[in-house]
Structures are given as C-alpha cells and as structure tokens.
Structure 1
C-alpha cells in the first residue's frame, strides 16, 4: 500500500513536470515575441519617417539683367520644392566668370551670353539656353533730349553711357553700333547693365543702351526707344551647373526647371523671349 502510494506520487510528479516544460517554453516564447513586437513597433515609426531630408541650399550666380525676374522665379521654385532655398548672386557675366574660375562656392551659373559660358567649359556642365533678350535705348523720363534712334547717340552734346566692352550688353552694344557705322564716345563704361540703367535713371546720362527687360523694370522712371530688329542683337542666356557644386542633383533640378512652362511664363511675363 505504501509502495503503491509512492509510485502514484512519483507518476504524478513526472506528469506535472512534463506539463510544466511546454508551459514554460510557451511563456518564454510569448515573452520573446512580445519583445520583438515591441521592438518592431519602435522601429517602424523610425523606419517609416526616416531621418528628415537635409534642405538643399543652392547658390546661383546670375547675370545682372536677371535680377528682378529671378527673384520671382526663385520664390516660385521654393514654393514648388519645399525644403530648397535658392540664393542668387547677381553681377556682370564677366565678373561671374571670374568668380567661378577663382573657385567661388556656388551651384549653378546663368550668363547673358554664350561666349562667357563657353569660356568656362572646364568649370561647368552642359548648358542650355533658357531665354533671349534684345537691346533698347533708355533715356531720361519724357525723353528730354528727343533721342529717336541709334544715330542720335553719336551726338557729342548727348551724354551717353554704355556697358564696358567685356560685359555682354557692352559687347552687344558695340556690335550694333559698329554694324551701323556709328561712333559713340560714352561718358562712362559700366560693369553691368543695371549700372547703365541707374546712370540714366538718376539723370547722370541722357541715354544708354540696355536690355529691353531692364528698361521695363524701370518703367515710369525712364523712357524707351526701340531699336529695329534689323539693327538689333539677340542676347542668349545659357544656364549650367558647376562641376564643383556640392548639391549636384538639386542644382541640376533647378537648371532643368528653368525650361519648364511655369518658369518660362515668369521669364516671358518679364519681357524675355523664348529660348
């Protein structure tokens, strides 16, 4: 009887132990699964959101004649591309070229002529024409000197200001004057088109040759005398990314955007012609 009882107790202990082993394993598995699940939940939000993308800070070197229109274009681009900020540095194309050759930190370049851009082939990637422009004669408000055309600019009693010949607008001006065999002795030669416009606007010059778009930007402050197409020159504006850009993809996207319908509308509303 005692032996039988001992055997029953032993059997019961064995059965209990056998039942406890899978239960412990299940608990262990459940605990482990819970940890994994918790880990997944923690990783999932992090994985889905990822690290916030670094905002692209672009520096674009642009010809002075693009000052007003590019401010509008830059605002439109930033609105369309949240997180990207476009900073412009405006100057005469020849000055911009010097900055590029000196290694100025920038991402893209837009000049007012192809000659300047072609001289930077070692520093820029392939360029594309984004706009065109034409020349006009800017005079004082009301055109007090009664300037009618290019031939009047040879009058020695007229104070004429031109851009320096190494500046695109200065080179275009020389081109149209030479073609008409007109000799002009300017009272000054300025480093960019905006400086020419400013001289006329302030009354320091009676007339000056500028781009059509620049004269339009000073509407109400200067008058404009058109130059016939047959006597005019067409300015082409190429845009390219710099090979030293630290934001190559973002810079390329901006340059490409300049040829989109949205950007072209902004340029043409400002008086620029289609590429």
Structure 2
C-alpha cells in the first residue's frame, strides 16, 4: 500500500512539473506558433545611402523567412517619392529625410498603421581623393581656389543637408556639379573627376580606401533623420511589416550602426 501510494505521488509530481515546467519556454513556443508566417516578394524603395546595410538585412530576412524575396530600388529619396506618388508598386519606403517622407504621406500613400517613424540618423563627411592630397582639414578648405567640389542637388536630402552645413560654416560654395544622389557624388571622387564632395559618413565608410573621409564640426548642424513606412497600397503588407520590424529591431540597428548610421 505504501509502495502504491508512493508511485501515485511520484506520478502526480511529474504531471505537476510538466504542466508548469518552464514559463519562458512555453511563452516562447506560444509566441513562435502565433507569429503568422510571411512569404512572397517584398519591394523596398530606399534612399541610395542605405544600399549596403539594407542589402545585408534583405539577405537576413530571406533566410529567416523561407519563401520570401526582397527586391530593392535604391535611388535619391525625391526620385523614389515621385515614383511612389505616381503609382509605382512598392511595399516599403525608407527615406533620407522627413521632408521627402511627408511628400508621400501627404499624397495618402503611406499606411496609417504602423505610422512612418525614424529608424536611423546620418551626418555628412568630406570625401577626398585617397590620402587627401589637397590636405583638406575643414569645411572652409573646400573654398580653396582651383579645388573641384561636388555636391548633391539641393532637392535631394544629402544636398539639403550640405546646404545647411555650408550655411553653418559661413561658406558660399559653387560646385563643379550637382548630383542626383549621394552615390553619384561619391563616384566623381572615385573616378578622380573631382577633388572633394560632401556626402554621408556611411557612404565614405562603404567604399573603403577608394576615398578618404574628413569629419567637420558643422555636420552636427545638418543631421538627417531617416523615416521608414509601410505603403498604403502595399502588395505584400504582411511581409512588409515584418521587414520594417527587422530594420527597427536590435539586430537591424546593429547592422545600421555598423555601417556608420546613428540611432534615433
């Protein structure tokens, strides 16, 4: 009788232990099972300066969600905004400035939930020829006679930021050319068609030793916020939301700050 009683008690103890085994594990399992799987193509329109970091995050997203494919359109934010408001099919828009995002939002092209929000910030740096042969050490040095300087067009975020920085430094500068996005401006230096350009710090870092970066204090007066949004007519809203969540997650932020972006 004593042995039978002991067996019953052990059985009851085992059942009790199993039903309340590990709350954290049970919670994780529940969360995993409740997460709706995503699939299909996700089309992301993103500022040119996001190319390297977003491409890496796209690879991560596809591995995490088998059956998905992330397609990117990288260009100047204003060009992308114009395409979206003209009806170009896309799921996500990541802009290099709130002003450009506002263009899309004001046209009713962004979803109300989740609302557009800033996910990173970026600041300018002077890109020079490798080794900085012209010995550029400050923003004012860009005004030296004979120096060929390239800027982004003022209609795009990197150009608007450059104008703010130049005004903060009291420098009236006429560039040899205005480019439609930051990558085009940087290419002018890589091809030795110009001596210096005002571009994002992230882009200087991305090209390695093809250029030399020179920081300058006035850049703090022209920091750009980067907002991201789900688009109202997104063909694949579920996957788009999941991609935005990855971008804003701790993992996504590590990739972005590793590329030189700043947290909001």
TM-score by length of 1: 0.78
1:149 and 2:138 matched:
yes
SS at 2:60's partner residue?
Answer: helix
Equivalent residue for 1:109?
A: 93
Aligned residue pairs total 223
1:100 and 2:89 matched:
no
SS at 1:171's partner residue?
Answer: helix
1:124 and 2:110 matched:
yes
Over the aligned positions, Cα root-mean-square deviation in angstroms equals 1.4
Question: What is the deviation of 1:55?
Answer: 3.2
Question: What is the deviation of 1:156?
Answer: 3.3
Deviations 1:36-85 (A, max 9, x none): xxxxxxxxxxxxxxxxx883201000000011111111001111111111
Q: Which runs of 5+ in 1 are unaligned?
A: 1-52
**Matched residues in 2 for 1:240 and 1:230: separation?**
26
Q: Which runs of 5+ in 2 are unaligned?
A: 1-36
1:133 and 2:133 matched:
no
1:56 and 2:45 matched:
no
CA contact (8 A) 1:180 1:231 kept: no
**Matched residues in 1 for 2:121 and 2:220: separation?**
16
Larger Rg: 1
More deviation in 77-86 or 61-70? 77-86
User: Of 82, 85, 99, which residue of structure 1 is paired with 2:69?
Assistant: 85
SS at 1:220's partner residue?
Answer: helix
User: Of 196, 199, 203, which residue of structure 2 is paired with 1:207?
Assistant: 196
Task: Describe the shift of the 1:68–1:230 C-alpha distance in structure 2 as closer, same or farther (beyond 3 A).
Answer: closer
Deviations 1:65-115 (A, max 9, x none): 011111111001111111111110000000001100110011110000111
CA contact (8 A) 1:61 1:96 kept: yes
CA contact (8 A) 2:92 2:229 kept: yes
Question: What is the deviation of 1:155?
Answer: 2.0
CA contact (8 A) 1:111 1:117 kept: yes
SS at 2:81's partner residue?
Answer: helix
CA contact (8 A) 2:46 2:75 kept: yes
Q: Where do 4+ consecutive residues of structure 1 move more than 2 Å?
A: 229-232
CA contact (8 A) 2:165 2:219 kept: no
